[in-house]
Chains A and B, each alone.
Chain A
Amino acid sequence: MDEKQLFDTWKSDHHLRNEELEADLEIKKITHAKSHDLFAKIRRNIIVELALSTIVAIGFPFFFTGDKLYFWIIVILLACSVAATFFVYGRYLRDMNQLNEVSLLQSLEKKISILSRYVRQLHVYMYIIAPVSFFIGFSYRLHDDHIELKRWIYLIAFSLPFLVLFMWLCNRYVYALYGKYLKQVKGLFDDLNEG
């Protein structure tokens, strides 16, 4: 096959006829369809998280209406927390909206940046926030119940493996959902960017 034949073959695919498309194209199906793309899923996750954190931030302080000072401290802390969440997630949404406005190389670079940041954030939740929350809650409860030190050690020794297992499972879950895909996109970027 020479180059002319290559081009002729390329153009001769009979499936390019529009008649086959007429029957299938339903615009309403497209405009209301849910994308299965990973970034569309991340976008949906972010929107749900923003909505939930706003609801919690509005409702949670009302559990502390007994103490006015406590109430306002919590309101301010939650307001700062929600503002920070909107700022961080706003950047994700802005970057995701720009994915199709740039070249393939730049788009892959943005995808790598978004995914890396998201995976890092999930790792922070898993490796720092989850264990710290666990120990704070655990210590508070034990202190409140005046449990002796020996029993405290037994309970920690028993629950620690479960905490480690939980973190390991979360790590595998994050890798399966995002880490593998991040590796694939990095590979694509390196291939496209070479020489």
Chain B
Amino acid sequence: MSGKSDVNFEALIKECHPIIYKICRVYSDKEDFDDLYQEVLISLWKSFKSFEGRSKWSTWLYRVALNTALTYQRKEKRRKGDILYEDAPDIAAPKDEKDEKEAEVERLYHAIAQLKKDDRSVILLYLDERKYEEIAEITGLTLSNVGVRVNRIKKKLFQLLSQKNDG
């Protein structure tokens, strides 16, 4: 993309909406989602004007969005610590395949919400199929550290998901 304008920014946001949506979903609950989404868009707009193309668009976008989400302050402290969901989401018994898929998605987001904030950013990038090199560039971790972390976080995530299936 060349040139900086509202039109280009709007086009970028529409193209990258899935990334921004997932980041906001992982770092907020239903009540704070819109606030965080707005904060991320504001941060992206401010950085968009000074973006010089030294990194890929996706790297820049993840960096700005995760940076905003990671240190986002919720307006009220409704929970202790970093855990977004104290109880499992209230998911009614799935009626059909579509409902079942939605329930699985909810369980996955809920499990990710149980992870530490920094681990959520790593697993989110991994699930978005970013290469380890790009994850290292975005997070600032070394390549070997990324590999170790991804394995550790995956193990934890599978544990959390299997607890939900059992419980």
Q: Which residues of A contact B (CB under 8 A)?
A: 1, 3, 6-7, 9-10, 12-16, 18, 21-22, 25, 27-28, 30-31, 33, 35-38, 97, 99-108, 111, 181, 184-185, 188, 191-192, 195
Contacts and interface: CB of A to CB of B under 8 A. Distances in A.
B137 A33 contact: no
B41 A30 contact: yes
A108 B116 CA distance: 15
Contacts, number: 129
A192 B140 CA distance: 9
B2 interface: no
Interface string B103-132: 011001000000011110100000111000
A37 to B, nearest CB: 6
Contacts of B108: 6, 9-10
SS of A interface (majority): helix
A100 B6 contact: no
B117 A191 contact: yes
Contacts of B45: 30-31
Interface of B: 6, 9-10, 13-14, 17-18, 21-22, 25, 35, 38-39, 41-43, 45-47, 50, 63-64, 66-68, 70-73, 75, 101-102, 104-105, 108, 116-119, 121, 127-129, 137-141, 145, 148, 154, 157-158, 161-162, 165
A182 B129 CA distance: 32
A35 B42 contact: yes
Given A12-B101, A30-B45, A188-B71, A103 B139 contact: yes
Nearest to B108: A9
A104 B42 contact: no
A97 B45 CA distance: 13
Nearest to A15: B21
B105 A13 contact: yes
Given A6-B158, A10-B128, 15 more contacts: A6-B108, A16-B22, A21-B13, A21-B17, A27-B6, A27-B10, A30-B42, A36-B35, A38-B71, A97-B50, A100-B64, A100-B67, A103-B63, A192-B141, A195-B148
